[in-house]
């Protein structure tokens, strides 16, 4: 291969070979079962529930009086990653779940020792009431937000209450009507029904206790069947193995293989392959412009993978627009930047115990191989070609809808400062029921200097964005409902659509959007038509309505 490495050094997915199983840190126990979920789109929109407010400490929950029914030994937060192996911890598995006392015992059996699972402890505080503790990001004591775990031995009639006791963020869309996800194995097998929104009486509030991660999420739910196996999750899971299955199907498709090359960008700290897809047709312009996309720097933001899936499905398909895009551009796609974090069920970090999306500026090859190699790849590309767009897919936990963060330092001339706002405006026209232009921000904050979008922009990619996809859903276009997997995939398709509008050789659409951006900003700042923008600070250009963006922002 052109990477200067023999092909077999890296286990690339091939239709002929079994998939390389994920490599886990040796501290992690892993059950042998393969966990796979069917894809399903609910026939009706799933509305937000009535927000319950933040003042709500119920009196019944006291863990001290409860019984521990699941407990994984924690990884000490001060320790560091040392080594990994397939299957995680060697030797026989421990039994973190308390055994049932007989068929009449209605205690739920919890499990999370599978890809992306992260439950550490469950305490039974009432006949059908449980207080749960999430495992923090590995080798850290914080970043609890993502959750994904399994329960067995369900009963159909009672109302259960679950309370996650150690969430890290003071504000959440759960406080504004978002509901958790449930998956019933029996419903999937017998009726083809997959992940769905559940939960009544959903509360997000500050818990007691002095520890910093003291926010709580509580919900009640009825299970659909007796004796079922069910899963709960924060967002539709998309694991490293899901990605590998997808890439193996691509590798086995003789048509796709003509214009899509799957290579290893590098290996993660645990030795999992970070994949790079190069997509372009063999024909077309000599010096094609380049589009760079990435997702899952933050492993808990799984919606980014579903948007990426939709993008790849469309771009690799037979639609005339997809063929045109492959003729016009070279796409460099890193679908999962932080596979280790995805494997172990982290929210934000890699196994270096730090946030990879703050490490682009200083990225050490050893600590953040994915980030380091992505940046080096873009540097190589920029030496020969124009990169017309960089977009990094993320998830947002405090604002609904989809929006973008762009880059405006205030130094550029008038034209360029408005140009950076054109792509998001076009996307909002192509996806009016999902994408909110007023929620977009273009200020480069100090705390964001190490993010992918800011570093790529400083390297010379003028259209450099973080796309934020809400964990909740859309409040736009008469919608007030959660995003489905289909919504997220459509977003990837709309990105393709917008790229064609943005790069249309007939500049009418671009010019129209440019003047619209100009008019919107004038209206907001009360400036005369014709006066330039070079004297206006970025802070003044930022919407006064969209609220201040604190440094705990998700990007």
Residue in this structure with the two tokens 């070609």, named with its chain if needed: 385
Token output for 319? 């639609």
Whole-angstrom CA distances from 480 to 45, 175, 476, 518 are 9, 15, 7, 30
Whole-angstrom CA distances from 50 to 174, 175, 364, 399 are 10, 9, 46, 16
Residue in this structure with the two tokens 């309370």, named with its chain if needed: 163
Planar angle of CA 487, 135, 247, nearest 5 degrees: 45
Which residues are paired to 130 by β-bridges? 124, 162
468 is catalytic: yes
- Residue closest to 123 by CA, chosen among 73, 76, 62, 167: 62
Token output for 22? 């994920």
- Residues composing the chain: 555
At 546, phi and psi to the nearest 5? -85, 5
* CA 355 from centre of chain: 14
Q: At what angle do helices 320-328 and 303-315 cross, to 10 degrees?
A: 90
Can you give the C-alpha Rg of the chain in angstroms? 24
Which residues are paired to 295 by β-bridges? 393
Among candidate residues 55, 115, 468, 528, the one labeled active-site is 468
The set of catalytic residues is 468
């Amino acid at each position: 291969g052109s990477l200067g490495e023999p092909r077999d050094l890296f286990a690339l997915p091939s239709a002929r070979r079994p998939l390389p199983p994920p490599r886990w840190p040796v501290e992690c126990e892993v059950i042998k079962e393969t966990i796979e979920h069917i894809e399903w789109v609910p026939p009706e929109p799933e509305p937000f529930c009535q927000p319950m407010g933040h003042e709500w400490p119920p009196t019944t929950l006291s863990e001290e009086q409860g019984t521990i029914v699941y407990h994984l030994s924690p990884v000490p937060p001060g320790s560091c990653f040392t080594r990994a192996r397939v299957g995680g911890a060697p030797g026989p598995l421990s039994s973190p779940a308390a055994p049932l006392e007989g068929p009449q015992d209605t205690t739920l059996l919890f499990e999370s020792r599978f890809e992306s699972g992260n439950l550490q402890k469950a305490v039974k505080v009432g006949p059908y009431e449980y207080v749960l503790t999430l495992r923090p990001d590995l080798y850290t004591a914080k970043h609890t937000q993502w959750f994904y775990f399994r329960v067995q031995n369900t009963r159909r009639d009672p109302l259960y209450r679950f309370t996650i006791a150690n969430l890290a963020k003071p504000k959440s869309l759960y406080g504004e009507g978002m509901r958790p996800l449930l998956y019933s194995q029996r419903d999937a097998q017998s009726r083809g029904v997959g992940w769905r929104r559940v939960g009544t009486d959903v509360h997000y509030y500050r818990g007691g206790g002095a520890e910093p991660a003291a926010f709580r999420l509580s919900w009640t739910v009825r299970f659909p069947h007796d004796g079922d196996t069910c899963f709960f999750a924060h967002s539709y899971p998309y694991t490293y193995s899901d990605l590998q299955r997808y890439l193996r199907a691509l590798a086995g498709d003789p048509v796709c293989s003509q214009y899509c090359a799957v290579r290893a960008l590098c290996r993660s700290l645990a030795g999992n392959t970070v994949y790079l897809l190069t997509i372009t047709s063999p024909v077309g312009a000599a010096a094609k412009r380049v589009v760079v996309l990435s997702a899952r720097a933050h492993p808990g933001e799984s919606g980014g993978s579903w948007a990426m899936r939709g993008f790849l499905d469309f771009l690799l398909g037979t639609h005339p627009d997809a063929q045109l895009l492959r003729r016009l551009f070279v796409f460099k796609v890193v679908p999962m930047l932080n596979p280790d974090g995805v494997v172990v069920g982290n929210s934000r970090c890699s196994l270096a115990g730090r946030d990879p999306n703050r490490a682009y500026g200083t990225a050490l090859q050893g600590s953040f191989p994915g980030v380091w190699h992505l940046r080096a790849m873009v540097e190589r590309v920029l030496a020969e070609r124009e990169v017309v767009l960089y977009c990094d897919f993320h998830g947002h936990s405090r604002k609904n809808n989809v929006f973008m963060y762009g880059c405006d330092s205030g130094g550029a001339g008038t034209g360029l400062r408005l140009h950076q706002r054109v792509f998001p405006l076009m996307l909002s026209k192509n996806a009016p029921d999902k994408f909110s232009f007023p929620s977009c921000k273009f200020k480069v904050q100090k705390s964001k200097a190490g993010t992918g979008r800011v570093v790529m922009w400083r390297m010379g990619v003028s259209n450099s964005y973080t796309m934020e996809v809400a964990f909740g859903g859309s409040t736009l276009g008469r919608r007030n409902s959660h995003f489905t997997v289909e919504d997220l995939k459509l977003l990837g398709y709309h990105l393709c659509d917008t790229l064609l509008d943005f790069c249309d050789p007939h500049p009418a659409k671009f010019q129209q959007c440019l003047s619209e951006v100009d008019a919107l900003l004038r209206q907001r700042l009360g400036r005369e038509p014709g006066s330039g923008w070079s004297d206006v600070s970025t802070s003044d250009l930022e919407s006064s309505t969209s609220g201040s963006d604190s440094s705990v922002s998700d990007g």
